[in-house]
C-alpha cells in the first residue's frame, strides 16, 4: 500500500504498537486522502482538523510510554452526523439543525474516545437518516468512490464512502431499515447492524426509536468486531439498552462454518434481484457449502409485507420524534407573529421534502380513525415477521440473502420516484423489524465493476455466529485488497 490510509484497523493498530507508525502520521494520511477525494465524494459535513490533531498528538504521547488506552488507540474514525458530538456541529443532515453545537457526546462516541480513537469528523447522511442514497441531505449528496456518478447508498452513505476511500479507517453509522448495510454493500465495505439495544442510542438523534441502532462500518469483518466490542455495552441512559452479558466475538472469526446450517431466504433470491447480484450471492452460498456448511432454502412468507409495514411504523415514530424541532429550543428559527406561525415557518423552511413526506405519512397513520387500519395493522405484520424469523431459526443457524437488490444506481435516477427508492431496502428492513443482528460483506463486482454485498442474518444476540459466517464469506471472496477506482487511479494505490 502506498499510504497508511489504506491499512485496515488491525494493521494500523499493530503498526502503532510496534512504533512503525505514529498516530499523527496515520491521521495526516487520512486527512490527505480526504483532501484529495472530498471534492468528488462529499463524504464529510465537518472535518475537525484541530481536535483530531490534538487527539493524535495525545495518543502519540501515550504510545511513547509503551501504553495504549484501548483497541482503537490512535485510529482515525468518522461519525455519522446524527450522533451528537460535544463542541462539534451536529446537523443530522438537516438545515433545521444548522449551527447546532451539542454540549455532550453520544454514548457511542464516548466509547470511541475511551478506546483511544481519533475522531476525524462528521459524515454526510440523508436528512434525519431518512433515505437510501444520501441524496436527501440538506447539504448536498455524497458520491460513490467506485463511480462518482452513482450514489453511495444511504442513509449512512457518507460513512461508507469515507471508509471505502480511506479518509477514515472505520466509521459509525445508524441502521433503521438498512442504513448501515445497504451503503456498505454499495461502497464495497463491511457494515454491521447489531441486535437492537446492544449499542446505546443515547445521543443518537432519533428517527424511529424502536428500529434505530448504531453499528460499525469497516474494511474487514475483524475490524467490525473490534469496533462493536468497543461501543457495545449496557448504558443506564438508554432505557432500551441490553442488560445481559456481552460476549467477546473475536474467538468466532477463525472457527469456520463446518456443521453450521445456512438458510437461503427464498423471497429474497428471485424476482426483483439483479442477475449479477443473484449470481454472486449463489457463488458465496456454494463456497459456504464447500467449507462444510449445510445449505437449505427457507421461506419467510411475511417478507412480502415487511416493506409496507416498515413504511408505516417508521414514519409514525418519526412524526412523533421530530415534533421537538419547533424553532423554540435549538436549531433554525423563522420568526412569525405567533408561536404557531413561527413553528410552521421554521419546519417548512428547515425540513426537506422526504422528511416532510414521512412526517405527513406518519401523522396520518396515527390519526383518529386511521390508527387501527394502518399503524395497528403494520404492528401486526411486524409480529408476523418476528414469528417467521423465530420459526426459521429452529432449523438454521443463520439466514442469507443479497444486501441490496441492485448495485449502486446513478445519482438522481430515483429521486422523483419515492417507491422505487423505498424498494432498495427490501432485503434489509426485516432484520430491523425483528430487532435482530445482520451484516453485509462485500463479495464481488458486477459487470459495471460496482460492489455487491452479501447479507448474513442471525437471531437476536446471535452476533457470535453472525461473525463466524461473515469471516468465512470474507475469506472465500478474497475481497480485502480491492480499492475503489477513485483511490487506485488518482492516488497511486
Q: What is the CATH number of the domain that holds 170?
A: 3.90.1300.10
Write down the residue that cell numbers 444476540 correspond to.
461
Torsion over CA: 91, 97, 101, 107 (sign): negative
Residue 225, C-beta contacts closer than 8 angstroms, at least 6 positions apart: 249, 250, 253, 467
The answer to whether residue 163 is domain-embedded is yes
Question: d(Cα 28, Cα 219) in Å, to the nearest integer?
Answer: 19
State residue 489's pLDDT score.
52
Contact assessment for residue 38 and residue 44, using Cβ atoms and an 8 Å cutoff: yes
Supply the pLDDT for residue 270. 87
CB 355 within 8 A of CB 128: yes
What is the C-alpha to C-alpha distance for residues 450 and 141, in angstroms, rounded to an integer? 19
132 a catalytic residue: no
Has residue 440 been placed in a domain?
A: no
CB atoms within 10 A of CB 354: 18
Q: Judge whether 252 counts as a catalytic residue.
A: no
The tens digit of pLDDT for each residue in 282-340 reads 999 999 999 999 999 999 999 999 999 999 999 999 999 999 999 998 889 999 999 99
321 is a domain residue: no
Does the N-terminal peptide bond of residue 155 adopt cis geometry, omega within 30 degrees of 0? Answer: yes
pLDDT at site 371: 92
Inside any domain, residue 351 = no
What nine digits make up the cell of 270? Answer: 428471485
Active site residue 200: no
Distance CA(289)–CA(264), nearest Å, equals 12
Catalytic residue among 3, 155, 302, 477: 155
Rounded to the nearest integer, the mean pLDDT of the chain is 96
Q: Contact at 8 Å (CB) between 26 and 16?
A: yes
Site of grid cell 433503521? 176
Q: How confident is the model at residue 236 (pLDDT cuts 50, 70, 90)?
A: very high
Query: Mean pLDDT over residues 49-78, rounded?
Result: 98
* Percent of all residues in the chain with a pLDDT value above 90, rounded to a whole number: 94
For residue 66, pLDDT beyond 50:
yes
CA distance 333 to 330: 8
Phi first, then psi: what are they for 72, rounded to 5°? -105, 20
Could you tell me what percent of the chain has a pLDDT over 70?
Answer: 99
Taken in order 178, 156, 351, 202, the sign of the CA dihedral is positive
pTM as predicted: 0.97
Residue of 22, 80, 319, 404 marked active site: 80
Model pLDDT for residues 162-216, shown as the tens digit of each residue: 999 999 999 999 999 999 999 999 999 999 999 999 999 999 999 999 999 999 9
The C-alpha atoms of residue 417 and residue 436 are separated, in whole angstroms, by 29
Residue range(s) defining the domain that contains residue 159: 4-256+458-491
Q: What is the pLDDT of residue 477?
A: 95
Work out whether the CA dihedral 30, 32, 38, 41 comes out positive or negative: negative
Check residue 329 and give its pLDDT: 85
SS (H, E, C) the chain: CCCHHHCCHHHHHHHHHHCCCCHHHHHHHHHHHHHHHHHHHCCEEEECHHHHHHHHHHHHHHHHCCCCCCCCCCCEEEEECCECECCECCCCCCHHHCCCCCCCCCHHHHHHHHCCCEEEEEECCCHHHCCCCCCCCCCCCCCECCECCECCCCCCHHHHHHHHHCCCCEEEEECCCCCCHHHHHHHCCEEEECCCCCECCCCECCCCCCCCCEEEEECCHHHHHHHHHHHECCCCCCCCCCCCCCCCCHHHCCCCCCCCEEEEEHHHCCCCCCHHHHHHHHHHHHHHHHCCCEEEEECCCCHHHHHHHHHHHHHHHHHHHHHHCCCCCCCCCCCCCCHHHHHHHHHHHHCCHHHHHHHHHHHHHHCCCCCHHHHHHHHHHHHHHHHHHHHHCCCCCEEEEECCCCCCCECCCCCCCHHHHHHHHCCCHHHHHHCCCEEEEEEEECCCCCEEEEEEECCCCCHHHHHHHHHHHHHHHCCCCCCCHHHHHHHCC
Q: Is the pLDDT at 250 greater than 90, yes or no?
A: yes
15-37 pLDDT tens trace: 999 999 999 999 999 999 999 99
| Parallel, antiparallel or unpaired: strands 294-298 and 261-265 | parallel
At 260-290, the pLDDT tens digits run: 999 999 999 988 999 999 999 999 999 999 9
> Count of domains in the chain?
1
* pLDDT at position 480 over 90: no
Any residues with CB less than 8 A from the CB of 296 and at least 6 apart, and which? 261, 262, 263, 264, 395, 396
Cβ(266)–Cβ(482) below 8 Å: no
Cβ neighbours of residue 310 closer than 8 Å, sequence gap 6 or more: 177, 211, 378, 425, 429, 432, 433
What distance in Å separates the CA atoms of residue 380 and residue 103, rounded to the nearest whole number?
A: 40
Average pLDDT estimate for 458-486: 95
Q: Which of 132, 159, 179, 477 is catalytic?
A: 179
Of 177, 209, 182, which is closest to residue 385 (Cα–Cα)? 177
pLDDT digits (tens, 9 = 90+) for 77-128: 999 999 999 999 999 999 999 999 999 999 999 999 999 999 999 999 999 9
Amino acid at each position: 500500500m502506498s499510504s497508511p490510509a489504506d491499512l485496515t484497523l488491525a494493521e494500523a493498530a499493530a503498526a502503532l504498537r510496534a512504533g512503525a507508525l505514529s498516530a499523527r502520521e496515520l491521521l495526516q494520511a487520512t486527512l490527505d486522502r480526504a483532501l484529495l477525494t472530498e471534492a468528488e465524494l462529499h463524504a464529510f459535513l465537518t472535518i475537525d482538523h484541530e481536535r483530531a490533531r490534538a487527539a493524535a498528538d495525545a495518543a502519540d504521547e501515550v504510545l511513547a510510554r509503551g501504553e495504549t488506552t484501548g483497541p482503537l488507540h490512535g485510529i482515525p474514525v468518522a461519525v455519522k452526523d446524527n450522533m451528537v458530538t460535544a463542541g462539534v456541529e451536529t446537523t443530522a443532515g438537516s438545515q433545521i439543525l444548522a449551527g447546532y453545537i451539542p454540549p455532550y457526546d453520544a454514548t457511542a462516541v464516548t466509547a470511541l474516545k475511551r478506546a483511544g480513537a481519533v475522531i476525524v469528523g462528521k459524515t454526510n447522511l440523508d436528512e434525519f437518516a431518512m433515505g437510501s442514497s444520501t441524496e436527501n441531505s440538506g447539504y448536498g449528496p455524497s458520491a460513490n468512490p467506485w463511480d462518482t456518478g452513482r450514489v453511495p447508498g444511504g442513509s449512512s452513505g457518507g460513512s461508507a464512502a469515507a471508509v471505502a476511500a480511506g479518509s477514515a479507517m472505520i466509521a459509525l453509522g445508524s441502521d433503521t431499515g438498512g442504513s448501515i448495510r445497504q451503503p456498505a454493500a454499495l461502497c464495497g465495505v463491511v457494515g454491521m447492524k447489531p441486535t437492537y439495544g446492544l449499542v446505546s442510542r443515547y445521543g443518537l438523534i432519533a428517527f424511529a426509536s424502536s428500529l434505530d441502532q448504531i453499528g460499525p462500518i469497516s474494511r474487514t469483518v475483524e475490524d467490525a468486531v473490534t469496533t462493536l466490542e468497543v461501543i457495545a455495552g449496557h448504558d443506564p441512559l438508554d432505557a432500551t439498552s441490553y442488560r445481559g452479558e456481552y460476549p467477546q466475538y473475536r474467538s468466532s472469526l477463525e472457527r469456520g462454518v463446518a456443521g453450521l446450517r445456512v438458510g437461503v431466504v427464498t423471497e429474497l433470491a428471485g424476482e426483483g434481484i439483479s442477475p449479477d447480484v443473484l449470481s454472486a450471492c449463489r457463488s458465496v452460498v456454494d463456497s459456504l457449502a464447500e467449507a462444510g456448511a449445510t445449505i437449505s432454502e427457507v421461506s419467510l412468507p411475511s417478507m412480502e409485507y415487511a416493506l409496507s409495514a416498515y413504511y408505516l411504523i417508521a414514519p409514525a415514530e418519526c412524526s412523533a420524534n421530530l415534533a421537538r424541532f419547533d424553532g423554540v429550543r435549538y436549531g433554525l428559527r423563522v420568526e412569525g407573529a405567533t408561536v404557531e406561525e413561527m413553528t410552521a415557518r421554521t419546519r417548512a423552511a428547515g425540513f426537506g421534502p422526504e422528511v416532510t413526506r414521512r412526517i405527513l405519512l406518519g401523522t396520518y397513520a396515527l390519526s383518529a380513525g386511521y390508527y387501527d387500519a394502518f399503524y395497528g395493522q403494520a404492528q401486526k405484520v411486524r409480529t408476523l415477521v418476528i414469528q417467521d424469523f423465530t420459526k426459521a431459526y429452529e432449523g438454521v443457524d443463520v439466514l442469507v440473502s443479497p444486501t441490496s437488490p441492485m448495485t449502486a444506481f446513478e445519482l438522481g435516477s430515483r429521486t422523483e420516484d419515492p417507491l422505487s427508492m423505498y424498494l432498495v431496502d427490501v432485503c434489509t428492513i426485516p432484520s430491523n423489524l425483528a430487532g435482530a443482528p445482520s451484516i453485509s460483506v462485500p463479495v464481488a463486482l458486477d459487470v459495471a465493476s460496482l460492489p455487491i454485498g452479501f447479507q448474513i442474518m442471525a437471531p437476536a444476540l446471535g452476533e457470535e455466529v453472525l461473525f463466524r459466517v461473515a469471516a468465512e464469506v470474507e475469506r472465500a471472496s478474497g475481497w480485502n485488497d480491492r480499492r475503489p477506482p477513485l483511490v487506485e487511479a488518482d492516488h497511486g494505490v
